[in-house]
Amino acid sequence: MITSPRSISRPVSRRAFLRQSGAVVASAAALSSAATGVFAAGAGRLRVGLIGCGGRGTGAVTQVLRASPDQPIVLWAMADLFRDRLEASYQMLAGGAEGRYDRDSFRTFAPQLEVPPERRFVGFDAFRQLLETEVDLVILATPPGFRPRHFEAAVRAGKHVFMEKPVAVDPAGVRIVIQAAREARQKGLSVAAGTQRRHQKHYVEIIQRIHDGAIGEIVSAACYWNSAGKLYAEPKPPGMSDMEWQCRTWYPHCWLSGDHIVEQHVHNIDVINWALRAHPVSAAGQGGRQVRQGGDIWDHFAIEYEYPGGIRAASYCRQIPGCSDRVSERIVGTRGLAQLDGSSGFIQGPQAFRSARSPNPYLQEHIDLIRSIRQGEALNEGLAVAESSLTAIIGRMSAYTGQNVGWDWALNESRLDLMPARLEFKDLPPLVIPTPGRTPLA
């Protein structure tokens, strides 16, 4: 029988949520070092915990379980806000599924599933309970609004981390992620992010050639994620609280997703930061909501980012059907240009180059992560993905308010924190769609 969320989740205030995250440190310290210490380099069995059992989290598990076929990896624990989501994820892993854009088809992972009922945790504090088990590596795949607190708690508990992008939806969350990423480095923990282009062969090759001077000095860049998207929020069932409904249908709610410029377009923005080896100094944006219905997010954005040295990068993203699609990046230099997308890439100019097709980057990012853990050579992508997330966030903040937004102000002074004051299944204030010139910059 599926347990109602109301019977398994007690209310959690923001202060309590953060306190519980910190409490993991004390709880973990009380356990044996063999259970909670950094996974020793070598070929021992690696125990994985999944926090967030939706489609992306389940897909990430299929990849991590395939990432080291000659050495044992098992799924050890699972956590989700909703029991039905957790059990559906487990059944899919055991029973198989067809492939999709981010997941190969598979028959079963049953031999690698070691998740008895006592290690299936449900509720707002389920992440804390999972981190108190003997997992070595945790996958963080809840809606992004929860990511900063979950990442902070995982690092404090001494766990290696794979976290989906984006890693925050507001400056308050970015600050938490940056601090936790630094702590992870001090502890020798590996941290990989779902910015899979950084593990995609043709992206790695072409970005390295850019850094080696193949197109000369970079003078401008542009990135795009224009596609159809899901435009209609599901109606709330009678008797369901706003909190439960928004968490179940999280994408169109900014406090959970960050809007599609942050949740999706961060991939392309990350490539520009990577190519320029910098983050922007400011953002000036615009956009709106032309056809989307439900929720409080927009359906199109256009942002101009200024990078150090006066370099300008244009950022465009749109989720409207019936329009031309484009998902790519373009970097222009003094002696050539580079064009990249998810399947290919090339350089035009004196050092012309065309890439071969890359292996599956969703699998490769886990192969690289597991290798770093087993070899004892910590990989840490936490700071880079935090900066890319904040790049997208300041673009959204500028567009929502109609104000130019500086990087230093957003990182150090902005008070914007979208997390509700209390995490409990209750009704929430009415959704307000941002209006430039009226929505304040906080």
Backbone angles phi, psi at 438, to 5 degrees: -120, -40
CATH code assigned at 116: 3.40.50.720
Look at residue 224 in the predicted model and tell me its pLDDT. Answer: 98
Look at residue 343 in the predicted model and tell me its pLDDT. Answer: 94
Of residues 169 and 9, more confidently modeled = 169
Query: Per-residue pLDDT averaged across 24-38, rounded?
Result: 39
Question: pLDDT digit string (tens) for 376-424?
Answer: 999 999 999 999 999 999 999 999 999 999 999 999 999 999 999 999 9
- 315 and 186 part of one domain: no
Look at residue 229 in the predicted model and tell me its pLDDT. Answer: 83
Look at residue 256 in the predicted model and tell me its pLDDT. Answer: 98
Classify burial at 433, counting beta carbons within 10 Å of its beta carbon; exposed 0-12, middle 13-18, buried 19 or more.
Answer: middle
Residue 442 forms part of a structural domain: no
Question: pLDDT digit string (tens) for 185-197?
Answer: 999 999 999 999 9
Q: Residue 120's pLDDT band (boundaries 50, 70, 90)? A: very high
Look at residue 21 in the predicted model and tell me its pLDDT. Answer: 46
Q: Residue 6's pLDDT band (boundaries 50, 70, 90)? A: very low
0.85 surpassed by pTM: yes
Look at residue 39 in the predicted model and tell me its pLDDT. Answer: 66
- 42 and 168 part of one domain: yes
Of residues 296 and 235, more confidently modeled = 296
Would you call 138 helix, strand, or coil by DSSP?
Answer: strand
Look at residue 425 in the predicted model and tell me its pLDDT. Answer: 97
Q: Is 136:39 a contact under the CB 8 Å cutoff?
A: yes
Residue 175 forms part of a structural domain: yes
Q: Residue 41's pLDDT band (boundaries 50, 70, 90)? A: low
Residue 120 forms part of a structural domain: yes
Q: Residue 315 is encoded by which pair of tokens?
A: 């950022």
Residue 256 forms part of a structural domain: yes
- 13 and 114 part of one domain: yes
Least confident stretch, 109-123, 232-246, 393-407: 232-246
Query: Per-residue pLDDT averaged across 268-288, rounded?
Result: 98
The residue range of the domain holding 233 is 203-358+389-413
Closest among 197, 155, 187, 133 to 376, alpha carbons compared: 187
Alpha helices for 312-431 (secondary structure H): 361-375, 382-401, 407-412
| Percent share of the chain, pLDDT over 90 | 87
Q: Residue 168's pLDDT band (boundaries 50, 70, 90)? A: very high
Mean residue pLDDT of the chain comes to 92
- 148 and 131 part of one domain: yes
Provide the residue count of the chain: 442
CA separation, residue 321 to residues 88, 179, 253, 299 (Å): 30, 39, 20, 10
Domain count for the chain, please give it. Answer: 2
β-pair type (120-122, 73-80): parallel
Q: Which residues contact 177 (CB under 8 A, 6 or more apart)?
A: 147, 148, 151, 152, 167, 168, 382, 385, 386, 389
- 322 and 373 part of one domain: no
Tell me the C-alpha distance between 42 and 70, whole Å.
Answer: 12
pLDDT > 70? residue 74: yes
Least confident stretch, 224-228, 231-235, 403-407, 435-439: 231-235
Look at residue 233 in the predicted model and tell me its pLDDT. Answer: 79
- 122 and 190 part of one domain: yes
* Greatest CA separation for the chain: 66
Q: Which residues contact 33 (CB under 8 A, 6 or more apart)?
A: none
- 341 and 214 part of one domain: yes
Query: Per-residue pLDDT averaged across 36-53, rounded?
Result: 79
Q: Residue 366's pLDDT band (boundaries 50, 70, 90)? A: very high
CATH code assigned at 315: 3.30.360.10
Q: Is 389:165 a contact under the CB 8 Å cutoff?
A: yes
Q: What is the enclosing helix (H) or strand (E) of 47?
A: strand 46-51
Q: Residue 258 is encoded by which pair of tokens?
A: 């960050």
Sign of the dihedral defined by the CA atoms of residues 121, 127, 129, 131, in that order: positive
Tell me the C-alpha distance between 309 and 405, whole Å.
Answer: 18
pLDDT > 50? residue 24: no
Look at residue 11 in the predicted model and tell me its pLDDT. Answer: 53
Strand ranges for 81-233 from DSSP E: 120-122, 137-140, 160-163, 191-193, 218-227
Question: pLDDT digit string (tens) for 136-156?
Answer: 999 999 999 999 999 999 999
Look at residue 25 in the predicted model and tell me its pLDDT. Answer: 39
- 127 and 242 part of one domain: no
Return the number of other C-beta atoms located less than 10 Å from residue 153's C-beta. Answer: 27
Looking at residue 3, what DSSP letter applies? Answer: P
Residue 422 forms part of a structural domain: no
Q: Residue 43's pLDDT band (boundaries 50, 70, 90)? A: low
CA separation, residue 152 to residues 18, 27, 51, 164, 424 (Å): 9, 15, 13, 14, 21
Look at residue 44 in the predicted model and tell me its pLDDT. Answer: 85
